[in-house]
Amino acid sequence: MVGQSGVKRWVWVMLFLSPGLLGLLVFIVGPVIFSLGLTTFEWNLLTPPQFIGLQNYASLGQDPRFWAALEHTALYTVLYVPAVMAVAFMLALLLNQPLRGRAFFRMAFYVPVVSSWVAVSMMWRWIFNPQYGLMNFLLGLLGIQGPAWLFDPATALYAVVIASVWKDSGFSTVLFLAGLQGIPHEYQEAAQIDGANAFQRLRYITLPLITPTAFFVLITTLIGAFQVFDQMYLMPVEYAQRGTTVLVQLIVNNAFRYQRMGYAATLSWVLFAVIFAITVVQLRLQKRWVYYEL
Partner 1 sequence: MPVRSKYQLGRLLLSGLQYTVLILMTLVMLIPFAWMFSTSLKTGEYILRTDFIPNPASLDSYRRLFEIMPMGRMVLNSVFITVVGTVGQILFAAMSAYAFARMKWRGRNTVFTLYLATMMIPYQVVVIPQFIMVSKLGWVNSYPALIAPSLFSAFATFLLRQAFLTIPNELEEAAVMDGANHLTIFWRVMLPLVKPVLATLTVFTFMSIWNAYLWPLFVARKQEFMTLPLGLATLQGSNESLTEWNLVMAGAVVTVLPILVIYLFAQEWFVQGAVISGIKG
Rule CB under 8 A: which of 100-119 touch partner 1? 101, 104-119
Q: Which of 45, 142, 193, 294: binder of partner 1 (CB under 8 A)?
A: 45
Smallest separation (angstroms) from partner 1 to the CB of 46: 11
Instruction: For the CB of residue 245, give the shortest distance to partner 1 in the complex, in Å.
Output: 15
| The one among 122, 144, 277, 280 contacting partner 1 by CB under 8 A | 122
Exposed (0-12), middle (13-18) or buried (19+): which is 217, by Cβ within 10 Å? Answer: buried
23 lies in the binding site for partner 1 (CB under 8 A): yes
Instruction: Report the nearest approach of partner 1 to the CB of residue 91 (Å).
Output: 6
Least distance (Å) from partner 1 to the CB of residue 122? 5
Closest distance between partner 1 and the C-beta of residue 55, in Å? Answer: 18
- What is the CB-side half-sphere exposure of residue 150 using CA atoms within 13 A? 25
Binding test (CB under 8 A) with partner 1, winner from 57, 269, 286, 290? 269
Determine if 213 is a binding residue for partner 1 (CB under 8 A).
yes
Instruction: Select 147 or 170, whichever has its Cβ closest to partner 1.
Output: 170
Residue 209 makes contact with partner 1 by CB under 8 A:
no
Selected from 59, 166, 208, 286, the binder of partner 1 by CB under 8 A is: 166
Within positions 50 to 79, which residues make up the interface with partner 1, using CB under 8 A? none
Is 123 a residue that touches partner 1 (CB under 8 A)? yes
Q: Per CB under 8 A, which of residues 135..154 are in contact with partner 1?
A: 137, 151
Kindly identify the residues of this chain, within the stretch 272-291, that bind partner 1 according to CB under 8 A.
Answer: 272, 275-276
